[in-house]
């Protein structure tokens, strides 16, 4: 009797031969995401405004990294990014990781409308427009994956750290993910959201320089600490790869138990 073939449970997590576009890839979690996806075999089109940092990332990783200067609030930049990604892929982009984001912690009653609009423009409008541009060819090819990097603060309030615009924009991303996941489910395109909790990143750097903020997170989070960037690697690869082929319209929250309280 022939023995059954061995199963490689890690094989579906590989991204060999695939092209992945990552926005906000110049620093913080975005740079980490680019490295992780590259390490899984993907060709990474790394996009951000600070192209010198992208060049440094490409020089560090070697081949299979394509830096593209892009401001996600500028439509011409998004069109060019989608076109360059498709050129690298030789057709439809395989995976889009919408990671670019900003936030300005401040009381809602005094938040300038210009800053509220800026946060929504980056975190929501730019994300939707790029997804729209990339999804057309994906739908035509009947294959593709979108991973929206939202936040646990798209599911719960941030207070006592006051971030009305950030919470509003990330909450919108969470529900947009549900809608797009359902709209495109029968068209071969999966859309899911990765919702990190408190992680060290360029945007949260000021928190970790403040003793009271550090104490707030460590005393309130069920796991008693902030997350380490590598603790998002598995969740990102799960959503971006064939390991999650029956998952769409969902949010995967990695927050040390914060939203479970």
Is residue 136 included in any domain, yes or no? Answer: yes
Tell whether 6 is covered by a domain: no
Per-residue pLDDT band at 253 (split at 50, 70, 90)? very high
In the predicted structure, residue 203 carries a pLDDT above the cut 90: no
**pLDDT score of 1:** 63
205 pLDDT higher than 70: no
Query: If pLDDT is split at 50, 70 and 90, which confidence band does 213 have?
Result: confident
Which of 158, 131, 164, 159 shows the shortest CA–CA distance to 145? 131
What one-character-per-residue DSSP string does 140-174 give?
HHT-EEEEEE--GGGTS--TTS-BHHHHHHHHHHH
Between CA 130 and CA 38, with CA 137 as vertex, the angle to 5 degrees is 65
In this prediction, residue 3 carries a pLDDT of 72
CATH number, domain at 206?
Answer: 3.40.50.720
Specify the pTM. 0.95
Q: Is 45 exposed, middle or buried (0-12, 13-18, 19+ CB in 10 A)?
A: buried
Q: Tell me the pLDDT tens digit for each residue of 232-251.
A: 999 999 999 999 999 999 99
Residue 122 CB partners (closer than 8 Å, separation 6+) = 72, 73, 100, 101, 102, 169
Q: Is residue 191 part of a domain?
A: yes
- State what percent of residues in the chain have pLDDT above 70: 97
Q: Answer whether residue 1 is part of any domain.
A: no
What does the alpha-carbon distance between residue 53 and residue 39 come to, in Å, rounded to a whole number? 19
Residue 255 included in any domain: no
Catalytic residue set:
166
Predicted pLDDT at 191? 99
Q: Report yes or no on 97 lying in a domain.
A: yes
User: Cα(165)–Cα(159) distance, rounded to whole angstroms?
Assistant: 12
* Residue 207 pLDDT exceeds 90: no
What domain count does the chain have?
Answer: 1
Find out whether 194 and 247 touch, Cβ atoms under 8 Å: no
Judged against a pLDDT cut of 80, whether residue 82 lies above it is answered with yes
Give me the domain span that covers residue 230: 15-244
Q: Answer yes or no: is 250 within a domain.
A: no
Other residues' Cβ atoms within 10 Å of the Cβ of residue 167: 22
Omega cis (within 30) before 134: no
**Candidate from 6-10, 22-26, 227-231 with smallest mean pLDDT:** 6-10
- Residue 7 maps to a domain: no
């Amino acid at each position: 009797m022939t023995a059954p073939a061995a199963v490689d449970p890690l094989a579906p997590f590989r991204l060999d031969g695939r092209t992945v576009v990552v926005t906000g890839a110049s620093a913080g979690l975005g740079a980490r995401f680019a490295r992780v996806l590259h390490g899984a075999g993907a060709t990474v089109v790394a996009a951000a405004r600070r192209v010198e940092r992208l060049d440094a990332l490409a020089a560090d990783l070697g081949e299979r990294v394509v830096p593209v200067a892009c401001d996600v609030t500028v439509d011409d930049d998004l069109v060019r990014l989608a076109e360059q990604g498709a050129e690298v892929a030789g057709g439809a982009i395989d995976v889009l990781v919408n990671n670019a984001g900003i936030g300005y912690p401040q009381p809602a009653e005094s938040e300038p409308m210009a800053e509220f609009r800026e946060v929504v423009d980056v975190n929501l409008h730019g994300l939707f427009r790029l997804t729209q541009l990339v999804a057309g060819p994906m739908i035509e090819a009947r294959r593709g994956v979108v991973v929206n990097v939202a936040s646990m603060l798209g599911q719960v309030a941030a207070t006592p750290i006051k971030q009305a615009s950030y919470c509003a924009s990330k909450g919108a991303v969470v529900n947009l993910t549900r809608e797009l996941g359902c709209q495109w489910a029968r068209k071969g395109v999966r859309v899911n959201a990765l919702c990190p909790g408190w992680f060290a990143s360029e945007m949260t750097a000021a928190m970790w320089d403040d003793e009271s903020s550090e104490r707030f997170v460590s005393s309130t989070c069920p796991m008693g600490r902030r997350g380490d960037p590598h603790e998002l690697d598995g969740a990102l690869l799960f959503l971006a790869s064939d390991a999650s082929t029956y998952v769409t319209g969902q949010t995967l929250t990695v927050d040390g138990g914060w939203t479970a309280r």
